[in-house]
Amino acid sequence: MKFNTKLIHGGISEDSTTGAVSIPIYRSSTFHQHKVGGAPKWEYARTGNPTRAALEQLIADLEQGTAGFAFSSGSAAIHVVFSLFSAGDHIVVGNDVYGGTFRLINQVLKRFGLTFTVVDTRDLAATSAAIQSNTKAIYLETPTNPLLRISDIQAIARLAQKQGVRTIVDNTFATPYNQNPLVLGADIVVHSATKYLGGHSDVVAGLAVTNDNQIAEQLAFLQNSIGSVLGPDDSWLLQRGIKTLGVRMRVHQENAQIIYQYLANNAKVAKVYYPGNPAGDGYAIAKKQMNGFGAMLSFELRPGLDPKKFVESLQIVDLAESLGGVESLIEIPAVMTHGAIPREIRLENGIQDELIRLSVGLEDSADLLADLQQAFAQI
């Protein structure tokens, strides 16, 4: 089955008892057992729920893995994945990962004895050099947030494998429409399904997928033990969103390409970050490992131009955190999504005060361009 067909018919696409083509919301916390100790398929909804199971099978199909797991948020999925490791274990982490992941690592996981080294995973030599005798995994994002940096998943997975280290990729920005890390050699993929997979800014959810049976068993155990599962209503809503991922991504990317061209030729813009920029340093790898360049872009205004005034002047593009929704969303990382990172560290990582991040939505591109134009005229 090809990808766009899988979105509709992948996973469990029909309810086995009624034939319903939309998997019903099984809002039941427990299931009748016909005899004691009979190992029934469904027993208690934290352990397994048919609506959630359909979603889990769907994301496993889409990422070409063997087992999927759904959680109450992307952060919960990431927490459960890190719970595979034990006190004394070491993990190499990309230096431009989601702010909430940094917070989880620094303020929660370190207290439980996990140790971390932060590296720029674009630099293979530095990534390799960061591996220690107790290193269990390399954790990275590509493209990153907000600078859209690209790391070579296949090269990293290869060097990790050689040393018996797992590779974990947060695939939120690319989505399985553009990139399948498991096919490139990664062991686990995580998603904030709150973003493109849900796609309508109306659900908070997380997913994890693996193609390794031993990891799958451990993740199932941890999902049930920690209990941060996705409820049946949200599992249903997320499946509904995923069905249109293909058509949404096509238009998201078409619009992003148009807006990229506009920004790249705008005298008030100093710099644009976009994986589809042919002069960008990640372009060749992006072309190799992604089917499209996504619909996230960031840009810096010329020094002296006020980014706050610019984003506040927009009338169609929503000033808001998050990304991947049908509506275009714009924000200033330095004071919004990345405001918790100390300024020196933020600047060291290349996130300037005047950087603006744009999640290009599905509006008519002419309206988006007109909105940007009128906001540029005000600064």
Ligand X SMILES: *Cc1c(COP(=O)(O)O)cnc(C)c1O
Residue 191: CB minimum distance to ligand X, A: 8
Residue 226: CB minimum distance to ligand X, A: 14
Query: Does 331 participate in binding ligand X (rule CB under 6 A)?
Result: no
Q: Which of 100, 185, 231, 350 binds ligand X (CB under 6 A)?
A: 100
Interface of this chain with ligand X, residues 147 to 176, rule: CB under 6 A: 170, 172-173
Residue 111: CB minimum distance to ligand X, A: 20
Answer yes or no: 46 catalytic: yes
* Range list of β-strands (E), the chain: 67-71, 90-94, 115-119, 135-141, 166-170, 188-192, 206-210, 269-273, 296-301, 318-319, 329-331, 355-359
Q: Among all chains, which residue has been given the structure tokens 């506009």?
A: 262
Spatial distance between the Cα atoms of 12 and 91, rounded to a whole number of angstroms: 35
Which contiguous run of DSSP H or E holds residue 76? helix 74-82
Nearer to ligand X by Cβ, of 76 and 375: the residue is 76
Q: Which of 206, 292, 307, 361 binds ligand X (CB under 6 A)?
A: 206
90-94 vs 115-119, strand pairing mode: parallel
Spatial distance between the Cα atoms of 325 and 178, rounded to a whole number of angstroms: 16
Q: Which of 83, 135, 180, 194 binds ligand X (CB under 6 A)?
A: 194
- Residues 316 and 328 sit within 8 Å (Cβ to Cβ): yes
Interface of this chain with ligand X, residues 173 to 192, rule: CB under 6 A: 173, 192
Query: Does 98 participate in binding ligand X (rule CB under 6 A)?
Result: yes
Answer yes or no: 35 catalytic: no
Query: Does 99 participate in binding ligand X (rule CB under 6 A)?
Result: no
Q: Which of 90, 195, 252, 338 binds ligand X (CB under 6 A)?
A: 195
Query: Does 82 participate in binding ligand X (rule CB under 6 A)?
Result: no
Residue 141: CB minimum distance to ligand X, A: 6
Q: Strand, coil or helix: what is 34?
A: coil
Q: Which of 73, 121, 179, 359 binds ligand X (CB under 6 A)?
A: 73
Nearer to ligand X by Cβ, of 102 and 376: the residue is 102
Catalytic residue among 98, 196, 260, 273: 98
Nearer to ligand X by Cβ, of 45 and 189: the residue is 189
CA 346 to chain centre: 21
Query: Does 292 participate in binding ligand X (rule CB under 6 A)?
Result: no
Answer yes or no: 98 catalytic: yes
Spatial distance between the Cα atoms of 360 and 295, rounded to a whole number of angstroms: 6
- Residues 140 and 97 sit within 8 Å (Cβ to Cβ): yes
Interface of this chain with ligand X, residues 209 to 238, rule: CB under 6 A: none
**Which strand ranges, in their side-by-side order, compose the sheet holding 329-331?**
269-273, 296-301, 355-359, 329-331, 318-319
The count of chain residues that interact with ligand X, using the rule CB under 6 A, is 16
Which contiguous run of DSSP H or E holds residue 45? none
Amino acid at 11: G
Answer yes or no: 353 catalytic: no
Point out the residues that are catalytic: 46, 98, 170, 195
Binding site for ligand X (CB under 6 A): 73-75, 98, 100-101, 141, 145, 170, 172-173, 192, 194-195, 204, 206
